[in-house]
A and B are shown apart, each in its own frame.
Chain A
């Protein structure tokens, strides 16, 4: 005897394309309404630019690159990961699992929205830097920057997703994320070269994602004409590795008892 409840037959569910586009729109809306995202991704790098402009009439490319990378990675890593932990622990992700939304659509939608927000943050910082210091960005530099920031944001967003697996509560998110972010970024030189580092530390930093991101953005900003400067294999490796790790480690269920 069939156990299926008779029905008129489910009509075709919306295709993955529209559903993914809807998720990206939805996640962008959430991020844009999140003041923390705007402060971390836009206000802080701009503030650091303003502070730099009050001290110098000329801004080194490396300094601009540092501020761009700071804004992009704060958005892609800190804001993205802390938002994920909060959503997971509040049961937001569990609710999504109860719907016919394909899991990969939620994951991809959230990551795409984060990358887009990070790119917007980078664009605002570069535009502000160019405006303040009357710098000109070549077409090659702009395109190279787009590639570097997209790959960098993807790497950091994926790393942020992966690390949420070891963050048990919303309260634990900020300490864990800050501790895993600021030392790496500061030692990598986002706010100025870190001189006098022991060789083992320099070697270690070369393996972490901060240095490759900063190098890729600095190279992109140095690009002239219409040539293209692609990020190194190290950043691409980080993006792929972190993405795979995030897919493996991503959790939908709250960790803390509710």
Chain B
């Protein structure tokens, strides 16, 4: 069953194409991450799916509805965590959740949402006094209070510290375990790797990849070799073909060899030979497929440049 069906979607702002012939589907129960550089069309795609914007061409059906301003029943089935919204600062966290819960037929209990978002201790705090991370968690809480079938998460963990981010991931995983479909945008590739069943990559308004995170990582022919240089070893000691790939910023004293290559055997032979000559154990050596971030960057960087796409696309026509 399909929760979202997008066919040949396009959007123009004046002379600028924000989206060009984008098609994809999201099945019920899936978690799909929408990735792409700034201006790629992520927010435009999300806002069309959420009913805030009208496409210039193509169709987008969400939970069976293609209407821009769908009715209350449709709205009650989706949850939104947006970047560009706010709350009245005079309300407490508990009051805000209770007010929103009153709009739905089968809302979650306020206490349950406080627990899910880790805001129990802030229940009596006015929202204007919350930290940025706490506000973001409240955003998530408001998005899920109505027990949505489909949840849109627009950069849900931006501004969260690592612990809070992991807690947010746990929240999303608990939701998806209950069958909630999630479409999320994020700039944290580890987040996509952790949460997503599928990754959609947008660039210059086009969909350039649609695959599982692991499939995307292993799709390329590059292999990743990582080796933290031990004390006493300097980048200059390495063979010339390897020395160029040492990132000295990683470790102020020694640096780290980080190499993406199609010639794994030759690179390893060179590295092993160097280690034997210097009687060094290759402790910490990692050889494997690239990380999702590596794969993503490789994908983005191999695309032809489009200066217009580097500009931020306005979020409103």
Residues of A at under 8 Å CB distance from B? 2-7, 10-14, 18-19, 22, 26, 29-30, 33-34, 87, 90-92, 94-95, 97-102, 253-254, 257-258
Contact = CB atoms under 8 A, between A and B. Distances in A.
A254 B83 CA distance: 13
A258 B75 contact: no
B104 A95 contact: no
A3 B50 contact: no
B82 interface: yes
A4 B100 contact: no
Given A5-B149, A13-B76, A22 B102 contact: yes
A5 B50 contact: no
B302 interface: no
Given A5-B181, A19-B102, A91-B82, 9 more contacts: A7-B149, A13-B73, A22-B102, A92-B85, A92-B86, A94-B52, A98-B82, A98-B85, A100-B73
Contacts of B72: 13, 100-102
A110 to B, nearest CB: 11
A11 B76 CA distance: 10
Nearest to B106: A11
A95 B142 contact: yes
B84 A254 contact: yes
Contacts of A257: 314-315
Contacts of B315: 257-258
Contacts of A14: 102-105
Contacts of B5: 3
A189 B203 CA distance: 62
A7 B63 CA distance: 10
Contacts of A258: 83-84, 315
Given A257-B314, A258-B315, A95 B77 contact: no
B82 A30 contact: no
A120 B102 CA distance: 27
A6 B84 contact: no
Contact of A5 (B2, B73, B105, B106): B2
A10 B88 contact: no
Given A2-B64, A98-B82, A13 B105 contact: yes
Given A29-B90, A30-B90, A100 B316 contact: no
Does more than half of chain A's interface fall in helix, strand or loop, or is it mixed?
Answer: loop
Interface centre among A92, A94, A95 (most CB of B within 10 A): A95
Contacts of B149: 5, 7
Does more than half of chain B's interface fall in helix, strand or loop, or is it mixed?
Answer: loop
B64 A10 contact: no
B2 A22 contact: no
B63 A4 contact: yes
A7 B77 contact: yes
Contacts of B28: 5-6
B87 interface: yes
B250 interface: no
Interface in B132-164: 142, 146, 149-150
A5 B90 contact: no
B75 A98 contact: yes
A91 B154 CA distance: 14
Given A30-B91, A87-B88, A90-B86, A5 B102 contact: no
Contacts of B150: 5
A10 B70 CA distance: 15
Contacts of B105: 10-14
Contacts of B76: 10, 13, 100
Q: For the complex of A and B, list the 6 residue pairs with the smallest distance between their C-beta atoms, beginning with the closest.
A: A4-B64, A11-B105, A95-B85, A91-B85, A90-B86, A33-B90
Nearest to B29: A5
A33 to B, nearest CB: 4
Interface string B175-212: 00000010000000000000000000000000000000
